[in-house]
Amino acid sequence: MIAELAKGMGITLKHFFQTPVTIQYPDVQRPVRNRFKGRHELKRYDNGLEKCIGCSLCAAACPADAIFVEAAENTDDERYSPGERFARVYEINMLRCIFCGYCEDACPTEAIVLEHNYELSFYDRQSAIYTKDMLIVDVPVNGRPTPQVVEPGVFTKAIPEMENPA
């Protein structure tokens, strides 16, 4: 009996001096792995144009039917993205999303990327639908917001030859 008690106390004492594995979330956040798939972001080129061309391939690839895209036509006086079309509406239902990353794999312009944010709590179903305004990243420092007025004939290709058109 005494021996068992001493053994138990020994184990307690051993753990008492070990570094705790728990962290004080949310004050402290555990870093995630590079390959972690969290909340999506819609990316822009360096000049501010949106990478998304409204092709809906991400929605077609999504096994959870979580993505809704509605495309509209670009003009050179009102250009959101290179090429003919842009995403006028882009929504992801985070209650449906299983964070598989198929949307990212399917995207021909690398517009949709699952980043590292995992803080996705909400109180009602409507708040689980992330809109384009919520998903799109800020305009880069040297870029301009969309829609842009651009020179005719410059951004005719949906996938620009340059990675980041000036």
Binding positions for ligand SF4, rule: CB under 6 A: 52-58, 61-62, 64, 66-67, 69, 87, 92, 97-103, 106-107, 109, 111-112
**What tokens appear for 148 in the block?**
């842009």
The answer to whether 112 and 103 have CB atoms below 8 angstroms apart is yes
Q: Kindly tell me which of 9 and 95 has the beta carbon lying closer to ligand SF4.
A: 95
Q: Which is nearer to ligand SF4, 14 or 90 (CB)?
A: 90
User: What CA–CA distance (Å, rounded) separates 162 from 100?
Assistant: 29
Task: Identify the DSSP state of 126.
Answer: G
> Could you tell me the smallest distance in angstroms from the CB atom of residue 42 to ligand SF4?
7
Q: Which helix (H) or strand (E) holds 135?
A: helix 132-135
Smallest separation, CB 24 to ligand SF4 (Å): 30
The least CB distance from residue 59 to ligand SF4, in Å, is 7
- List the one residue out of 137, 115, 109, 120 whose CA is nearest residue 42: 137
Report in angstroms how near the CB of residue 66 gets to ligand SF4 at its nearest: 4
**Closest distance of CB 118 from ligand SF4, Å:** 13
Positive or negative: CA dihedral 130, 43, 49, 67? negative
User: Given the complex with ligand SF4, which of 9 and 98 has the nearer CB atom?
Assistant: 98
CB nearer ligand SF4, residue 101 or residue 143: 101
Spatial distance between the Cα atoms of 100 and 93, rounded to a whole number of angstroms:
14
**Which residue, 37 or 150, has its beta carbon nearer to ligand SF4?**
37
Q: Which residues pair with 112 in a beta bridge?
A: 42
